Amino acid sequence: MHASSQLPTDSLASAEAAWGLLGSRPGKVFAMHIGYRGRAAQKGRTPEAPGFFLKPATSLSTGGEVVMPAGTEIFGFEGEIAIVIGSHARAVDEADAWAHVASVTASNDLGVFDLRWVDKGANIRSKGGDGMTPIGPALLDATRLDPHAIEVRTWLDGELVQEDSTSTLLFSLPQIVSDLSQLITLEPGDVILTGTPANASTLSPGQSVEVEVTATALDGERLSTGRLASTVRVGEQRLPAYSAQPKPTPDQWADASGRPIAEFEPQAAPVLDDELRDKLSRVALATLSSGLRKRGLNNVSIDGLRSTQPGKRMVGTARTLRYVPNREDLFKSHGGGYNAQKRLFDSLQPGEVVVIEARGDNRSGTLGDILALRARHLGAAGLVTDGGVRDLDVVTEIGVPTYHGGGHPAVLGRLHVPWSFDETIACGGATVQPGDIIVGDNDGVLVIPPALARELVEESLQQEAEEEWIAAQVEAGHPVDGLFPMNAEWRAKYEAETAATEGS
């Protein structure tokens, strides 16, 4: 028997296990689009009213493996708090709504974002498939809980990636129940997924996502649902030609992962190819600076930093990371889990330079040995921060050229919140954009607009050749007057000698 023909039976058993946990097959399963403030900030939009979509009861499971159709590849996870209705509710007000809730549990709003293009908003294919709504493993008695103080956490392969509580919901749990009941009769066993916190992202086949809901009961007892574990696997079932086919587009990758769309778009041929890199490695920083100044660019040096690798040239393409001043609530929503800092370092490509905006404040670390190791493993050309570096001796030993404002033992959260990456930043008094060419040596660090790089380096090589010839003339005893810079007579001699050398 083919694996695909077993799928309906296996999926039904998984759904029945979830129905058994709930006590009956639910008539309706609702899910919120955006529920938490952190998620709204990440998405860049805040709903003015609660928004929902429906999921089939057959999408429920108690976790385990979820089989996705052949050809799909974008699998999203969203750890959530689910509430289970205990009694009929129709047009109830906010004050009475929580009395109609029987229990609370953990859930994971899984999705296959390759299929979202065909029914975005409704999410029937992308989030309604068999097994895509794991819940459990235990139910918490709602009568023992404060609906404004329930916590949810999500782990990806054991690393905490989402953490929040109902205290930061845009619409409280009683408001959610009340709102749905205004037009729809809620019945015992109905399930409502109440939205996911910030940092929902993607998982690969074989990775494990765990979700846990916890709360301190009204009597002081600490309660937990336990961890709800799920994985995905790409099966053998192929969708027929008349069905919507998978479209793993950059915008769907970005939507599912929470990362910038630029990471998934086809990249043009790099400006900084091997030939240009080699030439930039041979030109003095002072010469490049002079050429930039001729073009009216006087504010392109990243100032006030020192290098872990004196004498070692750094040439690479900028990837930017911005830290904002620490604010405790923002660090809670953006500092933990798979934050902007970790996402940037995990996405590095060979030859790239991480440039960090830390507002010139070196009173805490902005990176340390683990991130430096990750950068070395991925082939990064260098690290630049106008803040501090932790584990400075070890970072130095790791060998990736690191330009920094000094060593400091404190962790990131003392002063900084990792806010965003791959956007225009300020570092050491210079504006840096993603894709700018960064060159550093003992003289400091320069930022070169990529559109100028080839013209600049050719001119700089020519200038250095002239200066080497002038130096040879000075060594031979000629005075510098008329020679540096060259007057017409000396330039004629230089060009004649150069032509003779090239022709030999």
Residues within the annotated binding site for substrate?
Answer: 368-371, 390
What domains are there in the chain, each with its CATH number? Answer: 3-261 (3.90.850.10), 299-448 (3.50.30.40)
Q: How far apart are CA 63 and CA 232, in angstroms?
A: 10
pLDDT at 4: 35
pLDDT at 145: 98
Amino acid at 124: I
Does pTM surpass 0.85?
Answer: no
Q: Residue 19 above 70 pLDDT? A: yes
Pair of tokens at residue 423: 């956007």
Which tens digits make up the pLDDT trace of 216-257? 999 999 999 999 999 999 998 899 999 999 999 888 998 899
Q: How far apart are CA 283 and CA 271, in angstroms?
A: 17
Pair of tokens at residue 462: 């020519």
Residues within the annotated binding site?
Answer: 368-371, 390-391
CA distances from 376 to 310, 346, 366 (A): 17, 11, 17
Amino acid at 213: V
10 within 8 A of 61, measured Cβ to Cβ: no
Tokens 């060594």 -> residue: 475
Which tens digits make up the pLDDT trace of 67-98? 999 999 999 999 999 999 999 999 999 999 99
Mean pLDDT for the stretch of residues 395-406: 97
Amino acid at 265: E
Beta strands in 377-499 (DSSP E): 382-385, 402-404, 416-421, 425-427, 430-432, 437-441, 444-448
Mean pLDDT for the stretch of residues 375-390: 97
Q: How far apart are CA 202 and CA 134, in angstroms?
A: 16
The pLDDT-based confidence of 1 (bands split at 50, 70, 90) is: very low
398 within 8 A of 373, measured Cβ to Cβ: yes
Q: Residue 22 above 90 pLDDT? A: yes
Other CB atoms within a 10 A radius of the CB of residue 253 amount to 20
pLDDT at 268: 61
Q: Give the three-class secondary structure for 457.
A: helix
Percent of the chain at pLDDT above 70? 97
Q: Residue 125 above 80 pLDDT? A: yes
Report the range of poorest mean pLDDT among 77-81, 263-267, 480-484: 263-267
Which tens digits make up the pLDDT trace of 133-186? 999 999 999 999 999 999 999 999 999 999 999 999 999 999 999 999 999 999
380 within 8 A of 322, measured Cβ to Cβ: no
Percent of the chain at pLDDT above 90? 81
| 266: DSSP letter | P
Residue 230 zone, left/alpha/beta (φ > 0; ψ -120 to 50; rest): beta
Q: Which residues pair with 219 in a beta bridge?
A: none
| CA 173 to chain CA mean position, Å | 29
pLDDT at 338: 83
Pair of tokens at residue 315: 């040439």
CA distances from 42 to 45, 167, 201, 270, 330 (A): 8, 18, 12, 29, 12
Provide the total of helices (H) and of strands (E) in the chain, helices listed first.
14, 27
Task: State the chain's mean pLDDT as an integer.
Answer: 93
